[in-house]
Each structure stands twice: as C-alpha cells, then as structure tokens.
C-alpha cells in the first residue's frame, strides 16, 4: 500500500480513504483498517469498512481505481455495516475513491 502524506489537521471528507481504529465486536478494543468516509457532522464520521480482499458478496463494491485510493488490487468496500467513528479514530488519509466507485457505493448504502 502507498499512502498520501497529510497533516494531523487535515479534515476527512466524503469519498476519502482513511486508515482508522475500528471497534472490534464485543468491545474488545480496536483494529486498524481502511475505511471510506461517507458523511460527517462535527466530530462524528459515518464510514464504510474496506476489505483487503473482496469475497464477491452482494453487499460489497469492488474498488476499480486502486491507484488513487492507496488500496491494493482486489479490495472491496462493505456497504454493511456502516459505522460511526470519532475524528480521533481516523489516523491518516490513504487516498480518495474515484467517482465511479463512489457512485457504485452510494447505490448500495444509505447515507
């Protein structure tokens, strides 16, 4: 993976790919994973999880433009579950989803 450098003061925006601390089931802490920013209000960000290797499930959107996202080939965005994260959980920007992938995601997720 390649990452786009940013300052800590950068604000996540819709379509951005960020590396984030994502809660693990049953409150057992967090795991660092890539996410797509869907929307935000104040310090709350609605995000979709990215799987490094898609499974072809109906709730996934395969990332076609990997060059600008910082993700590898075969990555897929999960349309469910959608999570709410605090700004401090979003660690660094990896890239941005292209418009075609963003449109495909919006057809599957409610924002």
Q: What CATH number does the domain located at 16-106 have?
A: 2.30.30.110
Mean pLDDT of 91-110: 94
Cα–Cα distance, 95 to 65 (Å, whole number)? 11
pLDDT > 90? residue 89: yes
pLDDT tens digit sequence for 16-73: 999 999 998 777 889 999 999 999 999 999 999 998 888 888 889 999 988 889 898 8
pLDDT bin (cut points 50, 70, 90) of residue 81 is: confident
- Nearest Cα to 49, choosing from 12, 16, 82? 82
pTM of structure: 0.87
What integer pLDDT is reported at residue 73 of this predicted model?
Answer: 85
pLDDT bin (cut points 50, 70, 90) of residue 9 is: low
Mean pLDDT of 103-111: 90
Mean pLDDT of 83-97: 95
Domain spans, the chain: 16-106
Concatenated DSSP letters for 15-48? TEEEEEEEEPGGG--EEEEEEEEEEEETTEEEEE
What integer pLDDT is reported at residue 5 of this predicted model?
Answer: 46
């Amino acid at each position: 993976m390649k990452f786009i450098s940013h300052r800590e003061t950068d604000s996540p925006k819709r379509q951005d790919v960020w590396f984030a601390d994502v809660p693990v089931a049953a409150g057992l802490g967090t795991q660092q994973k890539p996410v797509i920013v869907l929307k935000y209000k104040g310090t709350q960000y609605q995000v979709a999880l990215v799987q490094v290797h898609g499974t072809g499930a109906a709730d996934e959107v395969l990332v076609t433009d990997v060059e600008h996202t910082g993700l590898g080939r075969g990555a897929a965005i999960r349309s469910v579950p959608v999570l709410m994260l605090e700004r401090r959980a979003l660690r660094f920007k990896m890239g941005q989803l292209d418009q075609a992938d963003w449109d495909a995601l919006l057809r599957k997720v409610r924002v």
